[in-house]
Amino acid sequence: MKTYLDCIPCFFEQALRAGRVATDDERVLKHLLDELGRLLKDISLDSTPPETGRLVYQLVNRITGNPDPFKGLKRESTVKALSLYPQMKQVIEQADDRLLTAIRIAIAGNIIDFGPSGTFDIEATLDDALTRNFAVCDYEIFKRDLATAGQILYIGDNAGETVFDRLLIEQLDKPTLFVVREQPILNDATREDALEAGIDKVATIVSSGADAPGAVLNTCSPEFRKMLEEAEFIIAKGQGNYEALSNYHRPIFFLLKAKCKLIADDLGVSIGDIILKGINV
Amino acid sequence: MKTYLDCIPCFFEQALRAGRVATDDERVLKHLLDELGRLLKDISLDSTPPETGRLVYQLVNRITGNPDPFKGLKRESTVKALSLYPQMKQVIEQADDRLLTAIRIAIAGNIIDFGPSGTFDIEATLDDALTRNFAVCDYEIFKRDLATAGQILYIGDNAGETVFDRLLIEQLDKPTLFVVREQPILNDATREDALEAGIDKVATIVSSGADAPGAVLNTCSPEFRKMLEEAEFIIAKGQGNYEALSNYHRPIFFLLKAKCKLIADDLGVSIGDIILKGINV
């Protein structure tokens, strides 16, 4: 997905919100926005939003002098999500369609995001995701392709959300590679965050090599690009991965909640909608 | 009122919205945002928002090559407001408190604004303003001071809104100077817009000399500053004039609707609240 003009004010909002996680010094925050302003002319509308997001959040880390401002919030999100794990596990086990219920819960987990809006209510989102109709639902194709897949490549998104990914991986019941970001960026899950969520109990954790809030291919390692090229069944979570991979040439199932108007428009859905969308399937 | 860090993303939104009124050429719009980005380091948080708004909207006019992009929308607003004039006149004449009802209607007119949000429903806002409780209401002091005033200095805000100002000026029933912007900026009322609204039937139209979306004193003419210094009774409409004059040393009554969170916070009210606030009174 390309960057829209309307993404630009949003990048300033995101920089300010992330900057405030690191510091409350107004001069530093103004300097951060000034530097983003200077950078703007080098940002092409042909790049994907997570490519620019990468520059924005790297700038935040550099100007505030904090290489991982979201470390504390990420840990809190994981602890909160782990506290909901037993209850959600039970919801899945009692469901008529366990796999679809686990997909719904994994999508609900995608609301744990400090990027586009910054506020969320995970319990309310879980309730909503369990009952809301899918705006896009390629579930039958998902099941068909899953049945014959030997291994899953599961591209994670945010810390905390990983706990809900774990619930889905348990239902997929196949050998799974769980992909994390190589470097801390925004509240995206790194290896450490995935370990805290217990992903290692259900999958092998691998890095995409990327330090962007989304699997932006030119920032990913050759090893990851090879995995993507060869994977039998790919799941990509969240907006950032959708933005980065929506034009990829291989089959991918995107699981996300539309959290901004531009993504919603791109998908032909409304803000708040839940999506299970397969491309090239 | 000072500029807050949160005003900065909003300036980019406003520039984009105003730019789109003038052109749909994506390259021009991107260039506009890039130029605003370059300008950012020179914008001080100690300046008032309309001082920066002036730079933003001047940039829009310059980059799009259109010196008055809102000309058509301003005219439409005035035509629409004039169509509501007879009905509102009747509402006032049938009211128990005609002056307060006219104040409510003049405040409702303040919703005609393409700056902070860009969308509005004037009929719904009129209905709301006629019944909503004031969040700040210095009406008793307003009436007390009005009774002894020989002349009113009424600082207008947006085109279209001027029609509703005219209804209030009729109820004030005192010789009135109605202040317009010298140059087109955003959808703020100029002499031409005031004339189209029929303000000349109830007041003498004078210019502030300013080309900012608010009576920013260092952009106003010496003549206007003298008027302000000597005026017996001052009414200032809208957010831009509040932002520009909220620290002025003389008595002013501000009539506005809080349309953004920062103004609402500054006033200690909520977004959507209506305000009749006197300073130094």
Structure confidence by residue, pLDDT tens digits, B84-108: 999 999 999 999 999 999 999 999 9
Contact A12 B16 (CB under 8 A): no
Given a cut of 80, whether residue B145 has pLDDT beyond it is yes
Contacts of residue A22 in chain B, CB cutoff 8 Å? Answer: none
pLDDT at B113 over 80: no
Label residue B229 exposed, middle or buried (CB < 10 Å: 0-12, 13-18, 19+). Answer: exposed
Fold assignment, B7-64: Helicase, Ruva Protein; domain 3 (1.10.8)
- Predicted local confidence at residue B252, as pLDDT: 98
Judged by CB atoms closer than 8 Å, whether chains meet at B38 and A38 is answered as yes
> Which one is predicted more confidently, A43 or B118?
A43
Nearest-CA distance from B41 to chain A in Å? Answer: 5
Which among B14, B17, B41 is the top mutation candidate for probing chain A, defined by the most A β-carbons within 10 Å of its own β-carbon?
B41
The topology (CATH level 3) of A71-279 is Rossmann fold (3.40.50)
Beta strands in chain B (DSSP E): 134-137, 152-155, 176-180, 204-207, 233-237, 252-257, 274-279
User: Which of B8, B29, B33 is nearest residue A40 as measured by Cβ atoms?
Assistant: B33
Average pLDDT over residues B228-254: 96
From the list A10, A33, A40, which residue is nearest B8 (CB)? Answer: A33
What is the pLDDT at residue B117?
57
Q: Does A25 touch chain B (CB under 8 A)?
A: no
For residues A105 and A98, the answer to whether their CB atoms sit within 8 Å is no
* Nearest CA distance, B245 vs chain A (angstrom): 24
pLDDT digits (tens, 9 = 90+) for A47-64: 999 999 999 999 999 999
Interhelix angle B122-131/B98-109, rounded to 10 degrees, is 140
Selected residue with higher pLDDT from B152 and B119: B152
User: Is the pLDDT reported for residue B264 higher than 70?
Assistant: yes
CA angle B81, B142, B50 (to 5 degrees): 60
Q: What is the pLDDT of residue B69?
A: 93
User: Which residues of chain B make contact with A37, given a CB cutoff of 8 A?
Assistant: 36-41
CB–CB contact B9 A29 (8 Å): no
Strands B152-155 vs B233-237: parallel, antiparallel or unpaired: parallel
Q: Which of B12, B31, B32, B56 to mutate to test the interface with A (most CBs of A within 10 A)?
A: B12
Position A114 scores a pLDDT of: 67
Residue A39 to residue B37, Cβ atoms within 8 A:
yes
Cβ <8 Å between B5 and A30 = yes
Q: How far, CA to CA in Å, does B98 sit from each of B67, B105, B128?
A: 40, 10, 17
Mean pLDDT over the full length of chain B = 94
Of the partner residues B13, B16, B37, the one whose CB lies closest to the CB of residue A40: B37
For the whole model, what pTM was predicted?
0.90
pLDDT tens, position by position, A160-205:
999 999 999 999 999 999 999 999 999 999 999 999 999 999 999 9
Residue A45: which of B10, B26, B39 has the nearest Cβ?
Answer: B26
Cα pseudo-dihedral A263, A267, A269, A271, rounded to 10 = -10
Confidence at residue B131, expressed as pLDDT on a 0 to 100 scale:
87
The pLDDT of residue A130 is: 87
A214-237 core/surface letters (b: 16 or more CB in 10 A; e: else): bbbbebbeeebeebbeebebbbbb
> What distance in Å separates residue A11's CA from the closest CA in chain B?
8
Euclidean distance between CA atoms A83 and B13, whole angstroms: 39
* Nearest residue in B to A11, CA atom: B9
Residues 144-183 of B with CB under 8 A from A: none
Which B residues 34-73 touch A at CB under 8 Å? 34, 36-41, 45
The pLDDT of A99-125, averaged and rounded, is 82
Q: What is the pLDDT of residue A115?
A: 61
B9 has a chain A CB within 8 A of its CB = yes
- pLDDT higher than threshold 70 for residue A117: no
For an interface test with B, give the residue of A6, A24, A33, A43 to mutate (most B CBs within 10 A): A33
- For chain B, give the percent of residues with pLDDT over 70: 98
Could you identify the residue written with the tokens 């965050």?
Answer: A193
Say what the pLDDT of residue A131 is. Answer: 87
**Which of A230-234, B11-15, B118-122 comes out lowest in average pLDDT?**
B118-122
pLDDT band at A40; cut points 50, 70, 90: very high
Least Cα separation, residue B150 to chain A (angstroms): 46
Confidence class for position A77, pLDDT limits 50, 70, 90: very high
Mean pLDDT score, B224-241: 96
What's the rounded Cα separation, in Å, for the pair B154 and B176?
7
CB pairs under 8 A between A and B: 54
Note the pLDDT of residue A123: 81
Tell me the average pLDDT across B178-199. Answer: 96
* Residue A7 with chain B: CB contacts under 8 Å: none
So where are chain A's domains? 7-64, 71-279
Q: Please, what sign has the CA dihedral across residues A238, A240, A243, A246?
A: negative
User: CB-CB: which of B9, B34, B40 is closest to A16?
Assistant: B9
